[in-house]
Amino acid sequence: MSEQADHQRAALSRRLGHEFANADLLNVALTHRSAGGGDNERLEFLGDSVLNMVIAHALFEARPHAPEGDLSRLRASLVRERTLAEVATELELGPCLQMGQGERRSGGARRASVQADALEAVIGAVFQDAGFEAAASLVRRLFADRLTDLPSADSLKDAKTRLQEYLQGRGRELPRYEIVSTSGVDHERHFVARCSLADAPQTADGEGSGRRRAEQAAARAMLTQLESGHE
């Protein structure tokens, strides 16, 4: 490893607030599979479990009256790839990653999935190095601001769920969805979905790169119509 890489990883340890007794664990956590040899995938597997457990417990304590569904949505918003990549960026994890030249040239160190995986691997490495409480303390510190400023659980519901609850709350029947058109080549399909109400001649269309995305877009369009009074 180069002297520059040593300095980067030492600086990362300081940002993490954890001095590794076994520095090799951090080295493995920061090694992408494209580098060849040992990589961080096993530590990522371990860190993912620790992360989910710690975030679940933090939410359980922070929202003592929230039902399971709300807690699950909140946890999903915190442990999703985009959020983990944001935390990794704040830690300046990308420049510390060891990867193959081709992967790095293609922007791999900045890719959200790569950064998210590496963050989980680092959490796993801290767990292996110093135990659960050290890893839990790290997670709580990294996610402190996000745990303090939690969104409402309702705002995290997908459009189809929100539309269903809107209609059920008014004693109305559930909507229907159908795909009205598809286009594009096999690996780049484009879908147009239509959402129809069972008790009114009202429809709304949505588009997306997959069936589910198109249906979600159609549900959002229908919600906009209903909430604006266009019934």
Ranges under pLDDT 70 in the chain: 1-2, 230-231
Which are the catalytic amino acids?
Answer: 48, 120
Cα separation, 106 vs 113, in Å, equals: 14
pLDDT at 2: 65
Binding positions: 44, 117, 120
| pLDDT tens-digit map of 130-139 | 999 999 999 9
- CATH 1.10.1520.10 given to domain 3-153: yes
- The pLDDT value recorded for residue 231 is 55
Distance of CA 54 to the CA centre of its chain: 15
The DSSP secondary structure of the chain, one letter per residue, reads --HHHHHHHHHHHHHHT---SSHHHHHHHTB-GGG-SS-SHHHHHHHHHHHHHHHHHHHHHH-TT--HHHHHHHHHHHHSHHHHHHHHHHTT-GGG-B--HHHHHTTGGG-HHHHHHHHHHHHHHHHHHH-HHHHHHHHHHHTHHHHHTPPPGGGGS-HHHHHHHHHHTTT-PPPEEEEEEEES-GGG-EEEEEEE-TTSS-EEEEEESSHHHHHHHHHHHHHHHHHTT--
Beta-bridged to residue 190, according to DSSP, are 183
- What does the pLDDT look like over 145-197, one tens digit per residue? 999 988 777 777 788 988 998 899 999 999 999 999 999 887 788 999 999 99
Q: How many angstroms separate the CA atoms of 149 and 147, rounded?
A: 6
Q: 219 and 207 in contact (C-beta within 8 Å)?
A: no
The confidence score (pLDDT) of residue 36 equals 80
Q: Where in the chain is the domain with CATH 3.30.160.20?
A: 159-227
For CATH 1.10.1520.10, the residue range(s) in the chain are: 3-153
Nearest to 84 by CA among 8, 155, 143, 132: 143
- The CATH number of the structural domain formed by 159-227 is 3.30.160.20
Q: Is the pTM of this model over 0.95?
A: no
Binding site listing for Mg(2+): 44, 117, 120
